[in-house]
A and B are shown apart, each in its own frame.
Chain A
């Protein structure tokens, strides 16, 4: 085994060194342009994808060279158990990925930590191990696909992707990543056997191989349908309803204002309230303040990647970067690289750590104000436990308007207070019509005798399949001068692209009905790991477009029928056959696809 390990090392050492040096140079070059460690999650996700491609490419070159029958025979036909041959190859791959991926990154992070004033946290060091683990998972997936009967088994790679696509703490990811790594190691180890074309004999291995494959197939179809449905919906909805536009001039501001005003007018069309006609006439003359649920998530402590955790103080020329270790912002002069101290929960120079990581001047429950002159930070607003911001507060209509997961709130400044930044005083509040998880887009106008609030609710059918079958509904509420709310208008199934735009048609959609069980399973890592979301993911119950339940049942039956046809004449034992047919029945077509990959069809001579 040791010899085989050194043989592989000898084979790739030169290439690995070249890649490592190139990787280091690229990191160095990037560090001259940007702060690599604080790049947002999209960019760091791209970097992770490149490292995974590197692992996949190594598998294709290294293990792919043994794929030909004679080469495979040379590798396996020796007095060593195949597990030790696998161990030698995977250890050599780990060594090479450590050299090419981990070591340059470690040196880069360490050098940044020691020689610069950039913020480097413990999470950055821990994240390097995750990067190495994900590259190694890609190597396992590539190796498994190369050695399997069917190349599409590379779909097992979807399992680690399900973990990688979440902004969770590096510590909470350790266990899932290790489990995923062990899982892929196990199924790849089993593919190191003399007869690669033979079906998997051990039920445990078959189960562990089939499940990620099925998830992979499901998500593949899932995301393909997402793209397809999005495209179709975009094409179908690109005709803007000109009749809804009230503004006479055609500038963009007027257009946008008229959309909001139109929402009120449409919502009041069916209203029985005696003042409704009067309000409809007033609205085109009034300013509309809008609150949208635009905060998807807040950062978590020790998060594996970054949301926007920096802010730029243009006046002082300081770039403030949040340190997860100290739970404070660290100041740095980007021109000279000089250290400019810390910014705590109370302002510059103090050592009071934030309780949560702030984003855009607020945490999920606190809104801050900053006194530029004194460099102090004040808490303007503090939400009670269980309530959190879902949109950025808006300063309009002489109020601070706030949207949380439970209420719409309007605050006014305490003009009598002695302090320049006193806590805000509640003017009025409106409880949302539906409980947590269904957050509306809100429009507010101020009347002479109160307020009108228009709320468009979207049933959280994020993965429903066809959003056009689940249109938003609208509620218009009148709030009198004393703050008492009265519902004055309700409209169901609002068909207005201006309402839906940016929401339903662009955030769709996939086919849960392809496999309801896998749909739930695929969403589970999200519900377990996405702790920073302002609107928690809805795993259950399944979306309720009733016409798709028969579709799901038909697809299950079809899958079962196809499974029966595939296994007809096969030599597999009855228990295994029953297991496959049950999988095809309950997991649907993805189970049939995995059956095609894992069980050879009986030959017909």
Chain B
């Protein structure tokens, strides 16, 4: 399935008069330049309400820039963007009350105690859900009288997440929230996110480099590359598009130019591993034509598929011509 087809899926459910938009996020040919660098390049994106949407991309792909634009902290150079149906450049406090945000630094005032921060947030957000806060914070074993400065990174992440979920936001943006967390804290964090989705109709935008997290959480996968949208579909669909072919070339290395859709080619222990995009069984025939013996077709997991997708064209050294 091509990218344009994937677009068609989301476009087909677009309302004719989106006063209350079915999309939590809509961007139209969004540009953002930092000097000569294009952080976002003609990005057109529609993220529907509900579910967990994962945004992935290499460093510098434009993920954080996109969030800054969406939250109104950076004006786009061109195009337009809206969040919850409102223009991103003119968000009021009412819209901000409907949007939660957790970043990787878990920026909470370090000089306050946990209960002080929580009571501050509680008064700010009219829809504050105390039961939900208690439910989430229970996973992280944080005491109310602890100072934020004395919390571990994982505990701080827990407090941050608990507060964000207790605000009952319509849209929750999690920007690499598990960065730097240990395995236990990370698991607690992810379980909490999953658990929270069971009884709400919130939309979560989850940005991470950890594909096992994406695989576990995401209902929808959005891949950005150099500020452009490269892919948007459920993760399973993406994995179906990406195949792993393993073949042995006893006489001469394959000519990659003659093989379509190759994202990645690795030569491991005398065997060639091809990660290919959008190929059918005909790819095996092409390998045979190149002199392959004992070829095998498999599926790539999400980590490998995304990794290959993002590193195509520059990460894989080409095998030497005519030698194995």
Binding site for B on A (CB under 8 A): 3-4, 7, 10-11, 69-74, 76-81, 194-195, 197-198, 603-605
Known: A3-B120, A7-B116, A73-B101. A195 touches B93 (CB 8 A): no
Q: Which residues of B contact A3 (CB under 8 A)?
A: 119-120, 123-124
Known: A79-B93, A81-B93, A605-B36. A72 touches B112 (CB 8 A): no
Report the separation of the CA atoms of residues A7 and B111 in the bound assembly, to the nearest whole angstrom.
8
Q: Which chain B residues (111-136) contact chain A, with CB distance < 8 Å?
A: 111-112, 116, 119-120, 123-126
B144 to nearest A CB, angstroms? 16
A200 to nearest B CB, angstroms? 12
Q: Which residues of B contact A69 (CB under 8 A)?
A: 68, 73
Q: Which residues of A contact B97 (CB under 8 A)?
A: 78-79
Report the separation of the CA atoms of residues A508 and B97 in the bound assembly, to the nearest whole angstrom.
59
| B111 with A10: CB separation less than 8 A | yes
Q: Which residues of B contact A73 (CB under 8 A)?
A: 68, 71, 73, 101, 103, 107
Known: A7-B120, A80-B93, A194-B91. A603 touches B107 (CB 8 A): no
Q: Which residues of B contact A72 (CB under 8 A)?
A: 73
Report the separation of the CA atoms of residues A85 and B227 in the bound assembly, to the nearest whole angstrom.
33
**Closest chain A residue, CB of each to CB of B69:** A195
Q: Which residues of B contact A77 (CB under 8 A)?
A: 71, 73, 96, 99, 101
Known: A73-B73, A194-B71. A78 touches B103 (CB 8 A): no
Report the separation of the CA atoms of residues A74 and B112 in the bound assembly, to the nearest whole angstrom.
14
Interface centre among A10, A11, A74, A77 (most CB of B within 10 A): A77
**Closest chain A residue, CB of each to CB of B72:** A194
Known: A11-B109, A605-B33, A605-B36. A78 touches B124 (CB 8 A): yes
Q: Which residues of B contact A604 (CB under 8 A)?
A: 36
Report the separation of the CA atoms of residues A3 and B119 in the bound assembly, to the nearest whole angstrom.
9
Report the separation of the CA atoms of residues A3 and B112 in the bound assembly, to the nearest whole angstrom.
11
- Is residue B108 within 8 Å, beta carbon to beta carbon, of the partner chain? yes
Q: Which residues of A contact B124 (CB under 8 A)?
A: 3, 78-80
**Closest chain A residue, CB of each to CB of B122:** A3
Ranked 9 nearest A-B pairs via Cβ: A79-B97, A3-B120, A74-B107, A603-B33, A194-B72, A79-B93, A11-B111, A70-B105, A198-B75
Q: Which chain B residues (84-114) contact chain A, with CB distance < 8 Å?
A: 89, 91-94, 96-97, 99, 101, 103-105, 107-109, 111-112
Report the separation of the CA atoms of residues A11 and B38 in the bound assembly, to the nearest whole angstrom.
39
| B125 with A79: CB separation less than 8 A | yes
Q: Which residues of B contact A80 (CB under 8 A)?
A: 93, 124
| B120 with A79: CB separation less than 8 A | no
Q: Which residues of A contact B33 (CB under 8 A)?
A: 603, 605
Q: Which residues of B contact A71 (CB under 8 A)?
A: 105, 107
Report the separation of the CA atoms of residues A5 and B77 in the bound assembly, to the nearest whole angstrom.
35
Partner of A195, one of B73, B77, B103, B111: B73
B200 to nearest A CB, angstroms? 19
A-B contact pairs, 8 of them (CB 8 A): A3-B119, A7-B109, A10-B116, A11-B111, A70-B105, A79-B94, A81-B93, A604-B36
Q: Which residues of B contact A194 (CB under 8 A)?
A: 71-73, 91
| B120 with A4: CB separation less than 8 A | yes
| B77 with A76: CB separation less than 8 A | no
Report the separation of the CA atoms of residues A261 and B126 in the bound assembly, to the nearest whole angstrom.
88
Q: Which residues of A contact B72 (CB under 8 A)?
A: 194-195
A141 to nearest B CB, angstroms? 24
Interface centre among B35, B73, B99 (most CB of A within 10 A): B73
**Closest chain B residue, CB of each to CB of A82:** B93
Q: Which residues of A contact B99 (CB under 8 A)?
A: 77
Report the separation of the CA atoms of residues A479 and B120 in the bound assembly, to the nearest whole angstrom.
85
Report the separation of the CA atoms of residues A198 and B73 in the bound assembly, to the nearest whole angstrom.
9
Apart from A73-B103, A78-B96, what 4 extra A-B contacts exist at CB < 8 Å?
A: A3-B123, A70-B103, A197-B75, A603-B35
Q: Which residues of A contact B2 (CB under 8 A)?
A: none
A359 to nearest B CB, angstroms? 52
B80 to nearest A CB, angstroms? 14
Q: Which residues of A contact B35 (CB under 8 A)?
A: 603
- Is residue B74 within 8 Å, beta carbon to beta carbon, of the partner chain? yes
Report the separation of the CA atoms of residues A11 and B91 in the bound assembly, to the nearest whole angstrom.
29
**Closest chain B residue, CB of each to CB of A66:** B107
| B74 with A197: CB separation less than 8 A | yes
Q: Which residues of A contact B125 (CB under 8 A)?
A: 79
Q: Which chain B residues (40-97) contact chain A, with CB distance < 8 Å?
A: 68, 71-75, 77, 89, 91-94, 96-97
| B96 with A79: CB separation less than 8 A | yes
Partner of B38, one of A74, A81, A198, A605: A605
**Closest chain B residue, CB of each to CB of A81:** B93
